[in-house]
Amino acid sequence: MTSTAANLAILDTSVYIDNLRSGRFKQEILDFKFVIRLSAVVLAELSRGARSREMKRFVDDLAKNLRIIVPNDREWIQSGRIVNRLVAARGFDIHKTREIHFDVLIALTARRIGAYLVTCNVDDFTAVREFLDFNLVCW
In three state form, how does the secondary structure of the chain look?
CCCCCCCEEEECHHHHHHHHHHCCCHHHHHCCCCEEEEEHHHHHHHHHHCCCHHHHHHHHHHHHHCCEECCCHHHHHHHHHHHHHHHHHHCCCHHHHHHHHHHHHHHHHHHHHCCEEEECCHHHHHHHHCCCCCEEEEC
Question: Once rounded to an integer, what is the mean pLDDT over residues 87-93?
Answer: 96
Residue 97 has pLDDT above 90, yes or no: yes
Q: What is the pLDDT of residues 23-40, one digit of tens each?
A: 999 899 889 999 999 999
For the chain, give every domain's residue range. 8-138
Q: What is the pLDDT of residues 42-55, one digit of tens each?
A: 999 999 999 999 99
pLDDT at residue 5, as a whole number: 57
CATH second-level architecture of 8-138?
3-Layer(aba) Sandwich (3.40)
Q: Please state, as a whole number, how many other Cβ atoms lie within 10 Å of the Cβ of residue 70.
A: 12
